[in-house]
């Protein structure tokens, strides 16, 4: 018999994982026991409070399906996703930001200078820049994969009234590592508020809004990919992003094309505005 007490229960749980073959998973579970038990000792939940917490997680599971992961959203609103992102950033590379749930890998590949504006509401903005390595060398053939909402803050993947591939594209950088396309300014939107996580956020008088943003995944052979976003300085939600994705280097002005410092770029549609954003990728150690 083992007499389990408040004094020895943490060690007992840690020892229960001791025979695992996977040393990293063993370490993680033992550290989790340490921190989870420390949290319980600190907060001292009543039975009802603990049952409410378990019920909350059960409801997260109930609303999740192959398109919706409420646990990922819980990680986002707790800042856990962003903390993991920040801790895994490479200081010399472009800072990362949250992937979110609206990425799909099948965006159309468009040519340099392509127009994504189509019939979307909003002025045309030239979004352009250079993908370089950490030594400052351009990376021809790097792939810039971008997805965004329309001006109303809705992604094509959420909205049957938009064409399936509206406002998302992949582009291969040219010989100088440049990408360029015209698009519109995205709108801010709220995280889903109909599930347990969104309801908790609004019940606790937190803002469910995300500031408007472009999402990017930038990849190149022999380099670590980056997942990041671009935000706008005039956005009212910049200081209260529900998922803590805003980083100062990712906030970029939309300038009138007439005042632009960058080189002219030939595009399918004449833009009124321009955003310049360069990406830096870290080579993979060989
Ligand atoms: C997004 O930016 O697409 C997003 C990120 C986290 C939660 C919900 C949406
Ligand atoms: Fe988003």
pLDDT single digits (tens) 37-50: 999 999 999 999 99
The pLDDT score that the predictor gives to residue 114 is 97
Q: Domain span at residue 94? A: 80-281
- Are 157 and 31 within one domain? no
- Are 17 and 159 within one domain? no
Mean of all residue pLDDT scores within the chain: 96
Quote the percentage of the chain above a pLDDT of 90: 94
Q: What are 132's two structure tokens?
A: 């370089």
- Are 241 and 128 within one domain? yes
Q: Does any domain span residue 197?
A: yes
In the predicted structure, residue 280 carries a pLDDT above the cut 80: yes
Q: Mean pLDDT throughout 179-207?
A: 97
192 Cβ closer than 6 Å to some ligand 1 atom: no
Q: What are 25's two structure tokens?
A: 């998973």
Q: How confident is the model at residue 263 (pLDDT cuts 50, 70, 90)?
A: confident
- Are 143 and 271 within one domain? yes
The pLDDT score that the predictor gives to residue 115 is 97
Give the whole-angstrom CA distance, residue 181 versus residue 160. 24
201 Cβ closer than 6 Å to some ligand 1 atom: no
Quote the percentage of the chain above a pLDDT of 70: 100
In the predicted structure, residue 261 carries a pLDDT above the cut 80: no
Ligand with the closest atom to the CA of 244: 1
Q: Does any domain span residue 240?
A: yes
Higher-confidence position of 25 and 285: 25
In sequence order, what E strands does the chain have? 114-115, 125-133, 143-148, 168-172, 178-183, 189-190, 209-210, 214-219, 226-230, 255-256, 273-276, 279-281
Q: Which protein residue's CA is at the shortest distance from atom 6 of ligand 1?
A: 100
Q: Mean pLDDT throughout 249-267?
A: 90
Q: How far is the CA of 264 from the centre of ligand 1 (A)?
A: 33
- Are 135 and 270 within one domain? yes
The pLDDT score that the predictor gives to residue 27 is 98
Q: Does any domain span residue 209?
A: yes
pTM for the full predicted model: 0.94
Q: Does any domain span residue 169?
A: yes
In the predicted structure, residue 105 carries a pLDDT above the cut 80: yes
Q: Which protein residue's CA is at the shortest distance from atom 9 of ligand 1?
A: 100
Residue 274 and residue 185 in contact, taking contact as beta carbons nearer than 8 Å: no
Q: Does any domain span residue 73?
A: no
Q: Does any domain span residue 75?
A: no
* Total number of domains constituting the chain: 2
DSSP, res 273: E
Q: Which of 1-15, 127-141, 250-264 has the lowest mean pLDDT?
A: 250-264
Question: What are the residues whose beta carbons fall under 8 Å from the beta carbon of 43, sequence distance 6 or more?
Answer: none
Task: Determine if residue 274 is left, alpha or beta; phi over 0 gives left, psi from -120 to 50 gives alpha, anything else beta.
Answer: beta
């Amino acid at each position: 018999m083992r007499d389990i007490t408040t004094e020895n229960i943490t060690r007992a749980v840690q020892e229960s994982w001791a025979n695992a073959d996977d040393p990293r998973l063993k370490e993680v579970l033992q550290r989790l026991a340490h921190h989870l038990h420390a949290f319980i000792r600190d907060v001292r939940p009543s039975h009802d409070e603990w049952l409410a917490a378990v019920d909350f997680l059960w409801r997260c599971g109930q609303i999740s399906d192959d398109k919706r992961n409420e646990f990922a959203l819980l990680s986002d609103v707790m800042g856990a996703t962003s903390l993991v992102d920040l801790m895994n950033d490479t200081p010399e590379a472009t800072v990362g930001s949250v992937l979110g749930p609206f990425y799909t890998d099948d965006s159309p590949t468009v040519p340099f200078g392509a127009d994504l504006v189509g019939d979307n509401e909003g002025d045309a903005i030239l979004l352009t820049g250079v993908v370089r390595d950490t030594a400052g060398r351009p990376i021809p053939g790097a792939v810039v994969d971008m997805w965004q909402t329309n001006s109303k803050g809705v992604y094509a993947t959420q909205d049957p009234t938009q064409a399936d591939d509206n406002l998302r594209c992949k582009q291969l950088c040219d010989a100088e590592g440049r990408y360029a396309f015209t698009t519109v300014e995205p709108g801010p939107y709220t995280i889903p508020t109909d599930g347990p996580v969104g309801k908790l956020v609004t019940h606790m008088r937190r803002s469910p809004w995300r500031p408007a943003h472009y999402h990017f995944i930038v990849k190149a052979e022999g380099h670590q990919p980056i997942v990041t976003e671009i935000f706008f300085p005039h956005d009212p939600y910049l200081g209260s992003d529900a998922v803590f994705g805003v980083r100062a280097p990712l906030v970029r002005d939309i300038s009138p094309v007439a005042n632009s410092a960058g080189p002219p770029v030939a595009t399918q549609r004449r833009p009124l505005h321009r955003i310049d954003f360069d990406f830096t990728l870290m080579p993979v150690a060989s």
